[in-house]
Amino acid sequence: MHAPGGSRMLITRATGKDSSRRPCKTGGSMEKATDSPALVAHPQRWLDGGEQIVVLGLYVWLVARLWPENFAADNWYPLLLLLSEGLVVFLLLIRRRTERISSRPRDWIIAFAGTFLSLLVEGGHTPLAPILGAALMLCGIFVHVGAKLSLWRSFGVVAADRGVRTGGLYALVRHPMYAGYMLSHIGFLLIVPTLWNLVLYLMVWTLLLARIHAEEQVLATSPAYRHYMKRVRHRLLPGVV
């Protein structure tokens, strides 16, 4: 996930420093951020911590939903799902404090609606293509976990200024984490092919595309990100889209 920080309503710590000169990460180097929007002083720590609490609560709820009936010895895919989502919680808990986080309700709704809907999947169904599904799911998990590790302590759910990362998988496409999500979702659908899961994932994908558009609209205010967009032209799949 890129950490947007452009022309939206943003909340920043009142540090007394000029946050418009905050450096942006570009691979292993640091660049000066420019074209920073007007900011308002606000206790952003509450929003930052609130995001962590909400995601942790959703994860505990997901464990409670999947644990009772889906952890049989031959039914391992819910465990993969929990391990994948557990990494999200871990990265949120260890991440560095956000300099600026969006206060725009639309950003929060899009981010948490997509996160919440993806946790409503159901299990316990006859697989359609279990081997192919497992392979796609593992590949998707590998991709989005790799993207999260590239971000490491810059990871977040809600749009915020955490720098612009262009190294690792972000050198191939601009949104590798979302691409990994979609691939693992397709794999999960092949393992648990229910209408409920299909409808859920279609809504989640729509929200992911909305997040991509919103994030790039904000990040494009940064010269560093505009240069990155020219260098890495595709969002989800190299050479395709």
54-100 pLDDT per residue, tens: 777 878 887 777 775 555 555 666 777 777 777 777 877 776 666 56
Residue 223: pLDDT over 50:
yes
The span from the CA of 143 to the CA of 181, in Å, is: 8
What is the band of 187 on the pLDDT scale with cuts at 50, 70, 90?
very high
Report whether 130 contacts 77 (CB < 8 A). Answer: no
Q: Which residue has the tokens 């690792």?
A: 168
pLDDT at 218 over 60: yes
The per-residue pLDDT for 166 is 81
pLDDT tens by residue, 104-131:
788 788 888 887 888 788 877 788 998 9
Residue 11 CA to residue 102 CA, distance in Å, equals 6
Proportion of the chain in helix, strand, coil states, percent, rounded to 5: 60, 5, 35
Where does the pLDDT of residue 3 fall: very low under 50, low under 70, confident under 90, or very high at 90 and above? Answer: very low
pLDDT 10s digits, 136-149 = 988 998 998 888 88
Euclidean distance between the first and final Cα of the chain, in Å?
Answer: 17
3-state SS string for 168-201: HHHHCCCCHHHHHHHHHHHHHHHHCCCHHHHHHH
Locate the domains of the chain by residue range.
41-231
- DSSP code at position 101: E
- Average pLDDT score over the chain: 74
Please indicate, yes or no, whether the overall pTM of this predicted structure exceeds 0.75. no
Q: Which of left, alpha, beta for 93 (phi over 0: left; psi -120 to 50: alpha)?
A: alpha
The strand pair at 10-12 and 40-41 is best described as parallel
Q: In this predicted structure, what is the pLDDT of residue 6?
A: 39
Locate tokens 């505990």: which residue?
A: 60
DSSP string, 23-46: EEEETTEEEE--SPPP-EE--HHH
